[in-house]
Amino acid sequence: MIVTKKEEATVIEVEFSTLTATNAKEFKAKLEKEIENATNVLLDLHNTTFIDSSGLGVFLSCLKTLSKKGGDLKICNITKSVRVLFELVRLHQIIEVFNSQEEALAAFSQN
């Protein structure tokens, strides 16, 4: 993961091409370490082409952790296949999805 601290949020570029049961625990452990001292987090998923329910669970866990601290989770740069999944399970209604980092960071500023 590539982590960049911005004024609006901590930006995490996910380097996993898939987020499945085989690597969800590893991803969650790395993500939890990065969000430990963060309030607002932006996940950039431009490298991720497939996510299963285990991967989605990590996002929801992250959102719950951040919400308890008064923060938020946003996601950007998702591929078409991942967007289809988000819409199918209606995750895009729980976690805001943006086309670019710039759009998502601007949304954090508006809150």
Please count the structural domains in the chain: 1
- Domain range for 34 is 2-110
Please say if the pLDDT value at position 1 is more than 90: no
Under 8 Å CB-to-CB from 108, ≥6 apart: which residues? 8, 9, 40, 42, 72, 74
Q: What is the mean pLDDT of the chain?
A: 92
Q: For 21-59, how does the pLDDT look when each residue is reduced to its tens digit (9 = 90+)?
A: 999 999 999 999 999 989 999 999 999 999 998 999 999
Please say if the pLDDT value at position 19 is more than 90: yes
3-31 CB burial, b ≥16 within 10 A, e <16: eeeeebbbbbbbebeebeeebbeebbebb
Query: 45: domain CATH number?
Result: 3.30.750.24
Angle, nearest 10°, between helix axes 24-35 and 53-68?
20
Measured from the Cβ of residue 83, the count of other Cβ atoms closer than 10 Å reads 13
| β-pairing verdict for 96-98 and 50-51 | unpaired
Q: In percent, how much of the chain has pLDDT > 90?
A: 79
């086309």: which residue's tokens?
99
